Each structure stands twice: as C-alpha cells, then as structure tokens.
Amino acid sequence: MTKQSPMKIAFGAIFFMSICFCLYNFEAIGDSLNLSRSKYTESLDTSTTTSPKEPAASKTDKSSAPIIDPKDLDVEQIEADFPMGYQNSRSWFLPLPAPDERHLLQVLTAEQRELLPSLGSQAQLSKKKLDKINTFYGINREGGWQDHIESLDDDGLAPLTKWAQKYVYDHQHPASCEGKKFYILEEKAPWYGLGAAVRVIFRELELAISVGRILVLDPHNPPGGNLMSKDCGEYRGRNASIECVLEDITSCAAYATPENSVREVSIHSVPGGNKFVPPLPAVALTTYMKETGLALTGAFLRYWWHAQMYAYIFRPNRQTLARMVEMRTNKTLHTAVDTNVRDKDGNGRPHTVPFPLLPSTISIHIRHGDKAIEGRLISTRDYIVAAERFILRNPITYRKRAFVTTEDPDAIKEIRKTTGINPISTAFSNPSWYW
C-alpha cells in the first residue's frame, strides 16, 4: 500500500468537506426559496381578502371546496374566470338576504315613503325612449330610417355608425341617378336562407361601393325571391324579392341599363387591396381609432364594416314594421317563464311578455335547424353558459333575463326548466332565469 503524502490527504479532506458544505447550502437555499415562495403565494391569496381583524382562511377551507372535473365541461365555462371550485368563505362575499320591505316601510318617515312612487317609476322607459320606439315602428317613407338613426344616442352605437350609414345610403340614393354606373345582382344561390341571402347581397354591395357602382337587384331574377310568396311584389309592380320585406336597396333601379351596368365585379379590381372594406370607411375608422389611443385590428375593422352592411340592408319596410307590431303585441304568440318560482314539475311560473322588452334583455337564438349541414350544433346549455358568462362580467347592467327564439321545441322545453348553469353563486338580483 502506497503511503499518501500529508499534502494530498489534507487536500482530499478539504475537497470532501467543500462538497458537503455545498450540498448543505443547496438544500438550505431550496428550503428558503420554498418558504419564501409559499409566503409570497400566501400573501397573494390573502392580500385582498384578509384584514388585521380577519384571519386568513385555513388550508382545510381550500381543500373542502368542491372539485369540478374540466372533462365534464363541453364549452369554455364561466368557472374559467375563477379557480376551479373556488369558494370565498368571507362573510362579505356571501349573498345577502333580500330586504324585508314591509319592515323597512315601518321605519321610514311619511315624507320618505312619498318618494318611493317616483323612484319606482324610473324603472319604466322614459318618454324619450318610448318616442324612439314609436318612431322606429312608424317609419313609412323613404329616408325615414336615416332620420331614426340620427335620433339615436351615439353612446349606444358602434364607432362612426351614423357616418357609415349615411355614407352607404348616399351612395345608393344619390341626389341624381343620371350618369351613374351600376352593378346588377341576380340570384346566385336559390337554396340560401334569409341570413345567407343577405350576406351575399352585402358582400356584393361592398364590392360595388369600392368600384364606384350602385348595386341594383336584378328585376327578373332578384336575390331572395324564392323566400317570398310570389304575390308579395304585386303592390310594388315587380317580381318577388328580398325588397318585399326590406327597404329598397337603391332609388336608382330604373336607371340601370345594359350599357351602364355590369353583372360581375371581380375582387381583384377593388382599389386598396381590401376586398371586404371600401377604402374610405377603412381609413375613416383607422383615423377614429388613432384618436382613441386603441389599436385597430383587421378583425375589428371587418366586423365593424359587416355590422354596418347588415344594418343598412336589414331595414324593414313599412309593411314589415306593421306586421312586426301586430305579431309582437299578440299575447297568444309569446309566453314568459320565471324560473325563480317553479311548480312541482320544475317548470317556471308563466308570465306575459312586456312590450317593448325591458332594457338589457339578452337575445338568444338557438339555431338547431339546417345549421347541422355546416357544422356541430351548439347545445342549448352552451348558449346559456355564454349568456351567464356575459352577465357575470356585466353584473350591474345585465340580469338573467332573456328573449329566446328557436325552431327546436326541445330547446324550449329545456329552457323552461333551466334556472341556471353557473355553479358560482352571486349576490345579484334574480339568481334564476326569467325567460
């Protein structure tokens, strides 16, 4: 056995002790990091809910919260806004009981009680709003829609709506039709439904605007004619078209001739390179958004313009508005269901439907018909989840009150028994749905 020198033995001992020291410190550092991390996490969890007088929730509180399996959720759920199964045990978070009106009335003075009728009347529509509703249903002349749009409050409209609607209207209804160029649109897909037919029209209308032509529906084979009864155009002296129920798309139809018209417009001929939005509206919205300090995305621009196109085309004419009022005020055609109060079978209590519908009522159209040929049908439950998600993010303005339309009787049956889907209890009014 070779005898080691004292120098080598000393060096080896120092090296061994150094490794042990490093391992010990790594472990200590790790424990320290874990400790500081847990304290930091705890501070995040309790900083907004714990006061000096109120102890933090124990670990058992968190572990006792119900666990929701994400696999059971067929859509992006409202619970995604919170940790899964989150429950806040703080007393201020729990829903408060409804006030005892009779007891409180005894506490108020006679002078205070006299204030209540005027405060309650504020829940009704103001005279200004009622006048606008009556104006809407009373539109009976060309240009009446423009007057109605101008009377609306800007805060309730998308940016530049009044300008965009006037821009499209003036293009389609010039002061003089002499010397104009036209694009005649004929029926290209007779199997389309109303929504698809209108989409085709607005796509061609935006092309016509971009190339400086007025869009005219072919008088012999107009879009949407197959959707109307053949006699619907008699009072107009024309073939049945979508203009049987909507305002005329232009006032210059009689001026279109084979010499000043085309029947096809290529998207490659659109100046500016944007086949969806004409150049001036695109630049107008870009200029507007710069002033707001917000970025303008292509998606925002496209949806904004599509909304303007739908708004222009979907202008019910006088006959349609009159029929809408007739059907809307027929109490035998509409029923309301309050699921806050249910019978022994689980159905909500029936009610009449107010006219007009109360402000902030959510509209839900459950499409379970031919949509199946295009893709997966959205379940009734998914529609309700989307509505509840929106209400949860706008709790002061919106309530669980919805106007539902559908061609599916089973959807109506499901709606009648659905009080809600969101398992997170909120402190806001009508916790169950009023359908």
Question: What pLDDT score does 432 carry?
Answer: 85
Question: What pLDDT score does 128 carry?
Answer: 79
Question: What pLDDT score does 85 carry?
Answer: 45
Question: What pLDDT score does 346 carry?
Answer: 74
- Pairing relation of β-strands 336-342 and 348-351? antiparallel
3-state class of 336 per DSSP? Answer: strand
pLDDT in tens, 347-369: 788 888 877 888 789 999 998 87
| Interior angle at CA 252, CA 246 and CA 258, nearest 5 | 115
Neighbours of 44 (CB within 10 A): 9
pLDDT in tens, 174-217: 999 999 999 999 998 888 888 888 889 989 999 999 999 999 99
CA dihedral 12, 14, 17, 19 (to 10 degrees): -70
Domain boundaries, the chain: 158-316, 333-416
In terms of pLDDT, which residue wins out, 23 or 137?
137
| Pairwise CA distance, residues 210 & 170, whole Å | 14
3-state class of 184 per DSSP? Answer: strand
Across the range 253-274, mean pLDDT stands at 86
pLDDT in tens, 212-245: 999 999 988 888 888 888 777 666 667 888 888 8
State the alpha helices, DSSP H only, in 152-260: 161-172, 194-210
| Interior angle at CA 160, CA 322 and CA 298, nearest 5 | 110
3-state class of 27 per DSSP? Answer: helix
Averaged pLDDT score across all residues of the chain? 77
Tokens coding 28: 């200590």
Question: What pLDDT score does 83 carry?
Answer: 41
| Pairwise CA distance, residues 296 & 290, whole Å | 8
Question: What pLDDT score does 88 carry?
Answer: 52
Question: What pLDDT score does 61 carry?
Answer: 46
The rounded Cα 61 to chain-centroid distance in angstroms is: 36
3-state class of 364 per DSSP? Answer: strand
- What pLDDT band is residue 108 in, cutting at 50, 70 and 90? confident
